[in-house]
Amino acid sequence: GSSPEPEQHRMEPPAVPEEELPVATAPSTAGCQLFGYVGIEAVLEQMKVKTMKTGFEFNIMVVGQSGLGKSTMVNTLFKSQVSRKASQPGRDERIPRTVRLQSVTHVIEENGVKMKLTVTDTPGFGDQINNENCWDPIIKYINEQYERYLREEILITRKRKIPDTRVHGCVYFIPPTGHWLRPLDLEFMRRLGEIVNVVPVIAKADTLTLEERAAFKQRIQEDLRSHAVRVYPQEDFDQDPDDRALNDGIREKIPFAVVGADQEHQVNGKRVLGRKTKWGIVEVENPAHCEFPLLQDLLIRSHLQDLKDITHNVHYESYRVRRLNESNRP
């Protein structure tokens, strides 16, 4: 007979019960149910306390011809004397020969929140007979602030908080002619819209009737579209659907027809800011009289942080990339 085959011994791992086998789980994007209070919401309070201690900065520039109420409008926005009105100059100094830039800085505090506000005025803009390249000093000033921030940023040992003098918003005052945009207005907004947030407004809108104002705004919107002028808020930067819906409503009303006033009057037992005329009082903060509340909401209450973010992430980033490419070029 034949001998049986030798028995083969194989080393097999011991069986693991099913309940002990590791189960691979995919990362879940759903919210996790907490069993008790953790305190995550306190992060918002920490950010609020830190911001109130350090404060924040906001830099605004006003551009327009003399006599359009730029200083009065800025004082009305912040309800304080933050912009110095030009004193009565001599006969030979009434119209500057070139565009000069004047900056005034104040610290405003409201309910414990401090804001370092810088207002830059541009006397002499558009006041000459020949206004060729009158925007060059303004573009130079804006780029100088970007350059100053860039130099602080590329230092080996830089400050924990770099002083921010960059222009976050430029309010351009359009004369209330009632016709259309001038070539000077179009060229200025086209050039400045590439490097800063430009918000156009119709100055002294109380000089126009409601019908004239509506027709003037429609012509301005058509001119901005036909000449591809980029004004704030730009459609390219709307990422969130809610923000897009909000900004679409703002874009339909730009340019804002505004009225500035720094005097209070008694209306129905209340003290209101307005301009007193022979026929009544034009209330600045009344939406039925002018669109100043819309401008105030855009610049301060709803889009102030967005203005700063777009300045840093878009306009300053474009300048930084261009400057670094120039320095690295052989």
pLDDT in tens, 264-287: 888 888 888 888 888 888 888 888
Please give the pLDDT value at position 96: 60
* Residue 91: alpha-carbon gap to chain centroid: 38
The Cα–Cα gap between 230 and 221 comes to: 11
Question: Angle at the Cα of 223 (from 222 to 229), degrees rounded to 5?
Answer: 110
| Cα 284 to Cα 289: distance, rounded to the nearest angstrom | 7
State residue 91's pLDDT score. 46
Contact residues for 225 (Cβ-Cβ < 8 A; gap 6+): none
Residue 66 to residues 121, 152, 173, 175, 197, Cα–Cα distance (Å): 11, 35, 10, 10, 22
Please compute the mean of the pLDDT values over residues 55-83 and round it to a whole number. Answer: 87
pLDDT at res. 92: 46
Average pLDDT over residues 10-14: 53
Domains and CATH numbers, the chain: 51-83+95-122+132-259+287-328 (3.40.50.300)
pLDDT for 256 beyond 90: yes
Q: Cα separation of 281 and 276, whole Å?
A: 4
Mean pLDDT is lowest, of 47-51, 169-173, 258-262, for: 47-51
128-155 pLDDT per residue, tens: 878 888 899 999 999 999 999 999 998 8
| Stretch (H or E) spanning 294 | helix 292-296
Tens of pLDDT, residue by residue over 165-189, are 999 999 999 999 878 899 999 999 9
User: What is the rounded (10 degree) CA torsion for 246, 221, 74, 259?
Assistant: -100
Q: Would you say 116 and 57 are in contact if contact means Cβ atoms under 8 Å apart? A: yes
